[in-house]
Structure 1
Amino acid sequence: MSSPIMAVLFDLDGTLLDTAPDMADAANKVLADYDYGPLTEEQIQANTSYGAKGLLTAGFGTVPSHLDHSQLRQQFINYYQQNICDGTSIYSGITSLLTYLELEKIPWGIMTNKPGFLTEQLLPFFPELMKAQTVVCGDTLSVAKPHPEPLLHACELLGASHHQCAYVGDIEKDMIAARAASMSGYVAGWGYIGERHAPDSWQASGILAQPESLIDVLEHQKSLR
């Protein structure tokens, strides 16, 4: 039997929050600056979890050689910061899940590759997420996912063993990071999983259809004690 889950870490974009409307809007504004058309819904769904790079690469196809990647990223960030929470929302079921974790005294936190300054700007719009006992971002350490170190660092801050921690995320590198950190990895099936993705092949501990599905996992775990 695998180790019991005694702590939970969450990805942010596509797991706790649906940030696609505002991320896509920023990307579309950058694309428009260079006379490119807007992203399709399929491109948005498949690439939001990959941030500015994923969305802009999808929009440009291949970024033209005369355009500077760092400049494009900065343009994206400038637009995104102006409207960081116009269309962003917390996924249905997340509040119920977080309430359950708090009632069960299961520590939880956030481990996202989103830069710290953007995370700090966004989280206060969602009081329930401000209750996270730790927040580790893509630039908190010198490495980011899929490297396991940020997950291990977040576990340490929670005071939890990584062997008894679950990580919930919506892209393959989240599961790669979880395995590398010897954690249980669960796929957020409600997140930004595009048609070309194959979560069944990600070697996850499970694919959650909705946030409350993790409650079922934890309740089943309790019944086996």
Structure 2
Amino acid sequence: MLKHTTIVFDLDGTLVDTAPDLTHALNHALGQRGHAPVTLEAIRATVGRGARAMIEEALRVAGISDDVDRMTADFLLHYERNIAEESRPYPGAVAALERLAASGARLAICTNKREQLSRKLLQALELEAFFHAIAGRDTFAVSKPDPGHLTGAIALAGGNPANAVMVGDSVTDM
């Protein structure tokens, strides 16, 4: 039994493959400013660092500069409208969540995606009910890799950091 264990998951790249929809949003923002699109492979590594980091990396790779704030706003608007067009849970993710929940574990999300977008994605994929807490980059005054983001997510889930584990896919999650 995992009754007193809190398992905290990263969202993008760990539970859900969101890279296709994030790439579409990035390419929309680039296109709005007259820039060429990028491939999913070119930005996949930046997915977990947030929209702004994806845009900055795309501009850096292309050797161009632009209004990153404006592009981020365009990105987020497009992404919110198309949040689960191609995003899907990774194979086995739902079954794992079901088993963990059935064993008594408290499940939480700790992501650098904004909380409202995280909830919208989880609702669209019918996953939100698995989680006792969802902590986005804007839930607290800090975000990953600051440890306060993780400990805050654990506290929101009613857990104890001494009895918790983080499951992620990048150095940001470590």
Aligned residues: 169
Higher Cα Rg, which structure = 1
Aligned identity (percent) is 31
| 2:165 aligned counterpart, secondary structure | strand
Matches within 5 A, 1:25-174: 25-61=24-60, 62=63, 64=65, 67-174=66-173
Q: Deviations over 1:11-54 (max 9, x none)?
A: 11111111111110010011122332211232132222222123
| 2:50 aligned counterpart, secondary structure | helix
Give distance in 2, aligned partners of 1:30 and 1:152.
Answer: 34
Q: Could you tell me how far 1:63 is from its partner in structure 2?
A: 5.1
| 1:12 aligned counterpart, secondary structure | coil
Q: Which has the higher contact order (CA 8 A, sep 6+)?
A: 2
Tell me, yes or no, if the aligned pair for 2:109 and 2:135 is still in contact at 8 Å.
yes
Q: Deviations over 1:52-110 (max 9, x none)?
A: 1232123212551xx32211110111111121111111111111111111121111111
Tell me, yes or no, if the aligned pair for 2:43 and 2:58 is still in contact at 8 Å.
no
Tell me, yes or no, if the aligned pair for 1:57 and 1:63 is still in contact at 8 Å.
no
Give distance in 1, aligned partners of 2:121 and 2:104.
Answer: 25
**Matched residue, 1:6:** 5
Tell me, yes or no, if the aligned pair for 1:37 and 1:59 is still in contact at 8 Å.
no
Partner amino acid, structure 2, of 1:41: L
Tell me, yes or no, if the aligned pair for 2:30 and 2:37 is still in contact at 8 Å.
yes
| 1:86 aligned counterpart, secondary structure | coil
TM value normalised by structure 2: 0.89
TM value normalised by structure 1: 0.70
Tell me, yes or no, if the aligned pair for 2:23 and 2:40 is still in contact at 8 Å.
no
| 2:166 aligned counterpart, secondary structure | strand
Give distance in 2, aligned partners of 1:114 and 1:37.
Answer: 25
Gaps of 5+ in 1: 176-225
Gaps of 5+ in 2: none
Q: Could you tell me how far 1:153 is from its partner in structure 2?
A: 1.5
Give distance in 2, aligned partners of 1:20 and 1:155.
Answer: 26
Partner amino acid, structure 2, of 1:48: V
